[in-house]
């Protein structure tokens, strides 16, 4: 597993997958309560899923709220994500031409440490978000999600490669398994990508069937796993406490090898 680095520091000490708790509050106050609660659970980073935020079209409100979340969770890196609806995000009033200015403002003024956008987005927008993130010293996650099914191994590997080719610092894939074999496919693609690519990768299968991948993904090269705080942002996320305990058990076995 190649660890994710944020402003020069590897997450989770560089040895275990980083555990991220998503924030899905709709208002500033709800988000700040959620951030305080989540921080008390001891995650390695938080993710703000801004597509749940009702004031998403107000750039200044988004920037101020990002700063407030950072202040409510001191010392915790913040991942900023506007998940597109076609990859499982919420419907929002955000207009297409507001997307890049929103990411740029949050990178420059919001104090966020990582940003995530879909690799399948408009190429000019992806390039502009990449540039804004890197100019601000943010770690760029380029991601792919399929909430219905699990594409074949070759396609998943290509999704990881696409993210790398587009300039990602982290390539991420999340899929919905229809059977146990699909979980194996996701893990195999993640393992192959982690061996092939010079950047960290993150892979997870969603839903009840996929929950095992959130625990053992690190053994297959995944540098990041998501755990539920007050609420989950995707099906199958486990509560942080039991997930941490399971990771520690696996890590103990790794040390004994
Ligand atoms: O892309 C991801 C992964 C995720 O979908 C999951 O399955 O844990 C949760 C999202 O909040 C995050 O942006």
Tell me the whole-structure pTM to 2 decimals: 0.96
Does 112 reside within a domain?
A: yes
Does 170 reside within a domain?
A: yes
What pLDDT is recorded for position 255?
54
What pLDDT is recorded for position 251?
80
Give residue for tokens 């008390």.
40
pLDDT tens-place string over residues 120-162 = 999 999 999 999 999 999 999 999 999 999 999 999 999 999 9
- Between the alpha carbon of residue 150 and those of residues 157, 185, 206, the distances in Å are 12, 8, 10
**52 given a catalytic annotation:** no
Domain range for 95 is 16-247
Nearest CA owner, ligand 1 atom 8: 226
Does residue 206 line the site of ligand 1, with CB under 6 A? yes
Q: How many Å lie between the centroid of ligand 1 and the Cα of residue 257?
A: 31
CATH number at residue 205: 3.20.20.70
What pLDDT is recorded for position 154?
98
pLDDT reading at 82 higher than 90: yes
- Between the alpha carbon of residue 12 and those of residues 60, 223, 225, 240, the distances in Å are 31, 9, 11, 14
What is the secondary structure of 205-225 as a DSSP string?
E-HHHHHHHHHHGGGGTB-EE
- What's the burial of 71, exposed, middle or buried (CB within 10 Å: 0-12/13-18/19+)? exposed
Query: What residues form the annotated binding site for 3-dehydroquinate?
Result: 47-49, 83, 214, 233, 237
- Cα–Cα distance for residue pair 68/35, rounded to 1 Å: 10
pLDDT reading at 256 higher than 90: no
Does 165 reside within a domain?
A: yes
pLDDT reading at 213 higher than 70: yes
For residues 143 and 119, the answer to whether their CB atoms sit within 8 Å is yes
Q: By percentage, how much of the chain surpasses pLDDT 70? A: 98
pLDDT reading at 253 higher than 70: no
- Between the alpha carbon of residue 157 and those of residues 169, 173, 185, 192, 194, the distances in Å are 16, 9, 10, 7, 10
At residue 15 the predicted structure's pLDDT band, cuts being 50, 70 and 90, is confident
Does 27 reside within a domain?
A: yes
**70 given a catalytic annotation:** no
The alpha carbon of 41 is separated from its chain's Cα centroid by a whole number of angstroms, namely 18
Average pLDDT, the chain: 96
Does 200 reside within a domain?
A: yes
Does 218 reside within a domain?
A: yes
H-type alpha helices, 166-239: 180-196, 207-216
Count structural domains, the chain: 1
For residues 195 and 185, the answer to whether their CB atoms sit within 8 Å is no
Q: At what angle do helices 59-72 and 28-40 cross, to 10 degrees?
A: 30
Strands (E), the chain: 5-6, 9-10, 18-23, 45-49, 78-81, 114-118, 139-146, 170-175, 201-205, 224-228, 238-239
Q: Measured at the alpha carbon of residue 69, what is the angle toward residues 243 and 124, in degrees to the nearest 5?
A: 90
What pLDDT is recorded for position 257?
52
pLDDT tens-place string over residues 94-117 = 999 999 999 999 999 999 999 999
Select from 23, 46, 47, 226 the residue to mutate for testing ligand 1; criterion: most ligand atoms less than 8 Å from CB. Answer: 226
Nearest CA owner, ligand 1 atom 11: 233
Does residue 143 line the site of ligand 1, with CB under 6 A? yes
pLDDT reading at 8 higher than 60: yes
Does 30 reside within a domain?
A: yes
Q: At what angle do helices 180-196 and 207-216 cross, to 10 degrees?
A: 30
Select from 47, 234, 236 the residue to mutate for testing ligand 1; criterion: most ligand atoms less than 8 Å from CB. Answer: 234
pLDDT tens-place string over residues 28-54 = 999 999 999 999 999 999 999 999 999
Does residue 24 line the site of ligand 1, with CB under 6 A? no
Does 145 reside within a domain?
A: yes
- What backbone phi and psi angles, to 5 degrees, belong to 90? -80, 155
At residue 169 the predicted structure's pLDDT band, cuts being 50, 70 and 90, is very high
């Amino acid at each position: 597993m190649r660890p994710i680095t944020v402003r020069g520091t590897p997450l989770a000490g560089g040895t275990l997958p980083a555990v991220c708790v998503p924030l899905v509050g709709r208002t500033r106050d709800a988000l700040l309560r959620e951030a305080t609660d989540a921080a008390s659970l001891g995650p390695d980073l938080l993710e703000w899923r801004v597509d749940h935020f009702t004031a998403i079209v107000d750039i200044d409100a988004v920037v101020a709220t990002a700063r407030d979340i950072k202040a409510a969770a001191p010392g915790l890196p913040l991942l900023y994500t506007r998940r597109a609806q076609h990859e499982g995000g919420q419907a929002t009033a955000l207009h297409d031409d507001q997307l890049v200015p929103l990411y740029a403002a949050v990178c420059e003024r919001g104090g966020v440490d990582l940003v995530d956008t879909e690799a399948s987005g408009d190429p000019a927008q992806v390039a502009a978000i990449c540039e804004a993130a890197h100019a601000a010293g943010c770690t760029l996650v380029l991601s792919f999600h399929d909430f219905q099914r699990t594409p074949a191994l070759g396609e998943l590997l290509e999704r990881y490669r696409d993210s790398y080719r587009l300039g990602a610092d982290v390539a991420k894939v999340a899929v919905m398994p229809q059977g146990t074999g699909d979980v194996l496919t996701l893990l195999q693609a993640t393992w192959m990508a982690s061996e092939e690519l010079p950047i960290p990768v993150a892979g997870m299968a969603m839903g009840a069937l996929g929950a095992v991948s959130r625990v053992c993904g690190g053994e297959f090269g995944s540098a990041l796993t998501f755990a539920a705080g007050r609420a989950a942002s995707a099906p199958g996320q486990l509560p942080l406490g039991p997930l941490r305990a399971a990771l520690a058990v696996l890590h103990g076995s790794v040390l004994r090898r």
